[in-house]
Amino acid sequence: METIIKGIGAAPGIAIGPATIYSKQAVRAQIKPIEPGEVEAEIERLRSAIARSEKELQKIIAFAQQKLDPDDTKILEAQIMILADTILLGTIESRIRTELKNAEFVVFDEIGRYKRLMLSAPDEYMHERAHDVDDVMNRIIRNIQDQKLVSKMEGETIVVSEALTPADTVIFSRNKILGYATDTGGVTSHAAILSRSLKIPAVVGLRTVTRIAHQGDSIALDGYSGLLVVNPTEETLQALQRKAQRFKDFEERLTEIVGLAAETLDHRHIELSANIEFEEELEFTHTQGAAGIGLFRTESQLIGRSGFPSEEELYITYRKVVDGIYPHNVIIRLFDVGGDKLAPGSFHESNPFLGWRGIRVLLDRSDLFLTQLRATLRASDRKNLSILIPMVSTVREIRQTKELLEQAKGELRARGEAFDPNIKIGIMVETPAAAVLADQMAAEADFLSIGTNDLIQYMMAVDRDNMAVAPLYQQFNPAVLRTIKMIIDAGHKKNRWVGMCGEMAGDPVATLLLLGMGLDEFSVIPTVLPEIKKIIRTSRFKDAKRVADKVLTMTTEQEAREYLLALIRNQIPEIPLEP
């Protein structure tokens, strides 16, 4: 019997295939007897897993030491001490030898004993330490089982998981992944954005999918509407295949406008550019007709690596993107690590979205920052590159960045390297502080790019990853709309162009409104680019302004959304929109 689960469509497309259940939280350590002849190999597995775990922890500590109080890094050091505890390891090894049981089970049993002891203590501090012990135990077991986890992703499959990190999303995509389905997550979580970039359909926020679906179950996933069907009937499958075909036909018809300008019927020109995460997306941005790259999220260069890339490595990547997009422009965003995005060896923060993120990290780690600035400057010699600062909340951060940029220029001059001395530097307006101070920020920067993904979460006080509050993540909320209008007007008053690179820029329901508010640049994921261009080309700026004025008087998100939805359905009846 089929079961339908409603989630949130996070990456478009329809996927049909068998489920692979991926569970990171529940580290399972089943008991497995071993032969006496297997003892040495088992101990070797244990030792190399411990060595790997230690390496991982050292890396985390090295990074955290730069930022944390020595007292706080002690927690991490305590974890390493558990790994170096010769008595504990001696006990584990001797139990493998005498009891002839597999390494992960003995680790689970022996370290688990410590954990249970700590948990039974009345002291809160001991309970916290029990989590550390648990963390180390899981790390070792995961490292022992490493091989098995990867080999599970065989053939074409839909990954079903409680949650996925951006790193998981990228690493799994090296397999033949047809789709992602997760219990948690929101549309603008970075894992969701990455799956869109990777063109892997995804549905997030399904709450119960890991309980309902089993390994190998047949799954049909609709990334447009956010529906997931476990064990679909033949009828459901056919309906979904027809829908996939309908959407594909619409997308194919759009190829006719790839070479045309993003211009309204009354000749207002819009800079319509693409958001990319990987240099490999360059070709796709060309085929989709992008007039440049409005946001190159450089953090993806840090995924899956142990150390920070060298200046040369960064430069090679930026060079490829800059040359690949020439004569168009590329806006390289400085590393936006932290939040839900991975930093090399980041540490635990209880509120990562309000924590050490974006420009805050860069200014604290000026050595890494200067490395990225030099690499970026070196790639700017053809004068088609600008810099974008993430997570700005004070004017001082812009000034400090400019000072470091000047320092980087000086270093390159001393080395005799070429660069664009007038390189433009813009800021992401994605914190309420930057929005309110948009006029002062615009005075310091060359351009503004509105990051609605974060701006909405900070304005509405709604975690972009938390589906429990997803209905409050409202891009058409009057508070959000007024703020966007205010930012655009503030930028224009200072003669700066104002763009948007948050996901809202790529939502066809929002296009007319943003156009009418006077937005100069839309930077969108390449998949939706032709659709947005089609809307621009069939609109009149004059009418869009009237629409924006009207929407700005509305008091609820629902009213604004329904009004805009009706307009766009009327303008382009064949457009595939989902409620």
Which of 269, 286, 348, 501 is an active site residue? 501
**Centroid of chain to Cα 263:** 30
* 463: partner contacted, choices Mg ion, ligand PEP, none (Cβ within 5-8 A by kind): none
501 is catalytic: yes
Return the number of the residue (455 or 544) whose C-beta is nearest ligand PEP. Answer: 455
Task: For residue 18, count CB atoms less than 10 angstroms from its CB and return exposed for 0-12, middle for 13-18, buried for 19 or more.
Answer: middle
Q: Give me the sign of the Cα torsion angle 96, 100, 105, 106.
A: negative
H-state helical runs in 336-477: 359-364, 366-378, 395-415, 432-436, 438-444, 452-460
Which of 127, 131, 190, 214 is an active site residue? 190
Tokens of 156: 């074409």
Tell me how far, at minimum, the Cβ of 193 lies from ligand PEP, in Å. 6
Task: For residue 421, count CB atoms less than 10 angstroms from its CB and return exposed for 0-12, middle for 13-18, buried for 19 or more.
Answer: exposed
Stretch that binds ligand PEP, among 101-109, 447-455, 483-491, 514-522 (CB under 6 A): 447-455
Count of residues for the chain?
579
CA distance 522 to 181: 29
* 288: partner contacted, choices Mg ion, ligand PEP, none (Cβ within 5-8 A by kind): none
Tokens of 132: 């550390």
Return the number of the residue (309 or 358) whose C-beta is nearest ligand PEP. Answer: 358
- Kindly provide the b/e burial profile for residues 205-216, where b requires at least 16 CB atoms within 10 angstroms of the residue's own CB: bbbebbebbeee
Return the number of the residue (46 or 525) whose C-beta is nearest ligand PEP. Answer: 525
CA distance 523 to 331: 10
Q: Biggest alpha carbon distance in the chain?
A: 83
The only residue of 454, 465, 521, 557 in contact with ligand PEP, by rule CB under 6 A:
454
Return the number of the residue (430 or 557) whose C-beta is nearest Mg ion. Answer: 430
Residues between 321 and 350 with contacts to ligand PEP, criterion CB under 6 A: 336
The only residue of 332, 501, 509, 532 in contact with ligand PEP, by rule CB under 6 A:
501
Stretch that binds Mg ion, among 99-107, 297-305, 413-421, 447-455 (CB under 5 A): 447-455
Q: Is there binding between residue 271 and ligand PEP (CB under 6 A)?
A: no
CA distance 355 to 336: 12
Return the number of the residue (201 or 358) whose C-beta is nearest Mg ion. Answer: 358
Considering only CA atoms, give the Rg of the chain. 26
* 54: partner contacted, choices ligand PEP, Mg ion, none (Cβ within 5-8 A by kind): none
Total residues binding ligand PEP (CB under 6 A): 11
Q: Is there binding between residue 196 and ligand PEP (CB under 6 A)?
A: no
Residues between 272 and 301 with contacts to ligand PEP, criterion CB under 6 A: 295, 297
SS3 528: helix
Return the number of the residue (299 or 430) whose C-beta is nearest Mg ion. Answer: 430
* 82: partner contacted, choices Mg ion, ligand PEP, none (Cβ within 5-8 A by kind): none
The packing angle between helices 124-151 and 103-120, to 10°, is: 160
Q: Which residues contact 406 (CB under 8 A, 6 or more apart)?
A: none
Question: Is the Cβ–Cβ distance between 450 and 498 less than 8 Å?
Answer: yes
The only residue of 9, 451, 508, 516 in contact with Mg ion, by rule CB under 5 A:
451
Tell me how far, at minimum, the Cβ of 379 lies from Mg ion, in Å. 22
Around 134, how many Cα atoms within 13 Å sit in the side-chain half-sphere? Answer: 15
Tell me how far, at minimum, the Cβ of 197 lies from ligand PEP, in Å. 11
CA distance 108 to 90: 15
Tell me how far, at minimum, the Cβ of 502 lies from ligand PEP, in Å. 3
Q: Is there binding between residue 502 and ligand PEP (CB under 6 A)?
A: yes
Total residues binding Mg ion (CB under 5 A): 3
Q: Is there binding between residue 430 and ligand PEP (CB under 6 A)?
A: yes
**Pairing assessment for the beta strands 202-204 and 8-11 based on DSSP bridges:** antiparallel
Q: Is there binding between residue 452 and ligand PEP (CB under 6 A)?
A: yes
Return the number of the residue (193 or 442) whose C-beta is nearest ligand PEP. Answer: 193
Tell me how far, at minimum, the Cβ of 173 lies from Mg ion, in Å. 22
Number of C-beta neighbours around residue 461 at 10 A:
9
Residues 399-438, mask of contacts with Mg ion (x by CB under 5 A): -------------------------------x--------
Q: Give me the sign of the Cα torsion angle 224, 226, 232, 235.
A: negative
Return the number of the residue (138 or 475) whose C-beta is nearest ligand PEP. Answer: 475
Stretch that binds ligand PEP, among 47-55, 308-316, 379-387, 450-458 (CB under 6 A): 450-458
Q: Give me the sign of the Cα torsion angle 301, 302, 304, 310.
A: positive
Could you give the residue numbers annotated as active site?
190, 501
Binding site for ligand PEP (CB under 6 A): 193, 295, 297, 336, 430, 451-454, 501-502
